[in-house]
Structure 1
Amino acid sequence: MKNSMRIMGRLSVGLLVCVLLGQGMWLFRVREMKVDEFRQTVDRVLSTTVQKFIDSKNLYAMTTLELNYGWHPNNLFFWKYGYRKDSISNVSMDIYSNLSSRIIYDCLFYNNCIDINDIKSKYYTNLKEEGITEIPTLVIQDSNNVIMTSDNSFRSTSTIITSPLNLGYDYKHQITASFKLPFVFRALKGVLWIELLFLIGFVICLVWQWNSIKMTLRSVRVQTMGIAHLEHELKKPLAMMISAIGGMLKQKESALCPTDEVKLGMIKARLMKMADITDTMLTSLKTSVLEVEREPIDLQLELEMITEMFTMIRKYARVEYHIAEGLGYPCLDKIYFNYIVINLVDNAIKYGGVHPVVKINFYEEGTDYILGVEDNGMGIAPKDQKQIFKQFYRVRNQQVTKTTGFGLGLTFVHKVVCAYGGKIHIESEIGNGSKFLIILPQVSWKN
């Protein structure tokens, strides 16, 4: 079992790692594809915007800045602006438009007529038509230095930069646009980190769970050994005492008086009941399942034996019982019901003060049997009423601390009541005693 759990744990971790790595690689690939798509769009829009800007300045350059350029049929391209004059031979008509744009840019730059913020404004307007709302930063530079920029902000590693667009023929400038990484791409990167943290957390939880399972298995082994020890330490002494008392009662020439014989008979009956309870409790501890086998019981005899027993062992307490008319033989069981009453009465006497008075009532209400055990003790605080049925829980006050106990009796009572399909209610006030109401559904003998 231990090896199987170890193998399953390793397989679970391996599968989770594969799933998370696969998902992370897919998200990374999607992010890269979206970044490439974004870059292609802003590259295209930048090229179109710069071309339109230069074309719009053509007339101004020719009329105001005295730019003169043209193409001769003998494939000679010439230009002149300011003090600059040059020409290129063997220029085909196909590259005429591109050369014209470069010469116009040279003329504009030579005369300080390049407004990079105007280009940025037009570029941003065109980007919004494409559904891109990120504000760009434009930079014009040569091979060594930045010539001009629309923003002096620093380009961090989380920016997208367009491909360089060549400007000018003589000046050989390039223009680029940079964008802060859009939120969607930053979010995808964040998801990858979250997945990594989730993987680490899952591995930590799995290790913790594995340690918990090992502790549980160890606890089960200890519990099994403890049950075996209890079985050895309880069953044999009980059997020996029952046998010894039975032998004393069977002796014909006994020196026992009638009262002592009655007491010994009662002790034998209680020991036999304890033996039955011990067998049943050990069985339920082994299987973790408690089953109640119902049958009619002589309720008056049971309660009479309980009251007489507490009269002998708790002489300072007064235990009374009352059975409603017609309920002398309810369909309960011979083991667990007796245990419920004994445990509740014993607790009532323990915490009942100097002169405890305990009243046992058994009646029916609708289709339910009601067992009420009422005392005149110290009472239970509301905050403790929901906790007292938990294993090992004990109310924290001075009187309870002085009283021996492990906090297991009411836990088992609750388990028995649940096996009956019943409920437990508590009515209690500090200083005014407590009343436990056990509600058990009625079942016919045939059912």
Structure 2
Amino acid sequence: MKKVLRVLMALALLLVCSVPLGAEAASSFGERVEGMAEVTGVRVSTHDGMTRIVVDADKPVKIKTMALTNPTRVVADIQGAWLSGKVKRDIPVSSPFASRVRIAQFSKNVVRVVVETNVGKNNYRVFPLSGGPVPGRVVLDFGQVGPSSSGATVALPDVKKPTQPATKPAETKPATKPAEAKPSTKPAETKPATKPATKPTTQPQTSTTQPSKPTTQPQTKPVTKPQKTEAEKTAEETAGTAEQEKTETERGIDEITGLSGKVIVIDPGHGGNDSGAIGPTGVMEKTVTLNIALRLQKLLEAEGATVYMTRSTDTEVSPKGANASDIEELQARCDVANNHNADIFISIHNDSFTNGAAKGTTGYYYSRGSAKSRDLADKVRSGVIDQIGTQSRGTQSCNFYVVKHTDMPATLVEVAFISNPEEEKLLNSDDGAQKAAQGIADGIADYFG
């Protein structure tokens, strides 16, 4: 009997163990979030009298907002969304307009964003924004947010300011001018009275009609203005909203990333006669780096940056082409950045090793370079890892020619190991190349942010 029980228990255990629990969990999670927007990041920027918080999502979203007191908070609920595990949940903000941002999965299909702030209702604005390189965004502005904003740190004290210009027009200066004797005596002068005796009956009529025209014009204008504004309220509000949307779109793209006006040089490693490393299935490094670089160029230009490429096709950079020495080729790449007075220089490469198991992403900066170069290298490496999920191999100093002989902060990023079969496949895919480009763009945005 005991043997039978043992056999039955063993069979039961075998059945339990044979069920792919991880697959079921993954499947149920995939089903739960299917069709929902994934919230992928939160970015904060403070300048020009305003703090802007942008929440990124992979598709357009709808929001509900509310204000809470004790303490003062502004809440934005993102509908039909789920929060990526990569997003930082609690972000301190060093700003006179906001002190903290928190984000969490409030319910199974709502992501809640809470901003601790001390501004009044006229000094913040929350709205969704779609289009551009990020399909969906929620923008939360605090401070000087538009015509309704007083433009100071806290709204309440500044509400008094608009009353000052309102009282100035009511001063005695405009009041005394119409009451002066000059306008009253002019019509009473004898000159117009003597002239209309015989000669021109039309002249006095025209002279009398000339003063009447200004009187009729002001009468008709004030009458028509209220009628027009009442009839066109909706149109004006729509036009104002459209114009505001345009400015918000520009500011949402330019200000939050800080890329407007920035000059960036992208250097796709190798090219032309130099294939670079070659993967197990024959994928060449020069092809992968160019693919990523061209995608990165589009992302950065969409964010307002001016981008120069050391090469945009499969060719050498040096005017000497295949006849250039290694140093001449590398110096030609540096010259592109130095001659354009670039703000930063990004050289894109893929790592390789004899052991195909080697994998991961590395950021490099010149060993004797500035702290800004290290910061750039670190942020770009982190951005790539966040997007393609590779292992971090750290941010390391180096003596590579292109980061040593450029005059601005520079980094060389080894996106992944092309010698690793899995990472070669990732690098050679459209999805992998796009995510790698997005990761570098994210790192650049963080650097300038």
Q: Of the two, which has the highest radius of gyration?
A: 1
TM-score (norm: length of structure 2) = 0.23
Structure with higher helix content: 1
Larger RCO (CA under 8 A, 6+ residues apart): 2
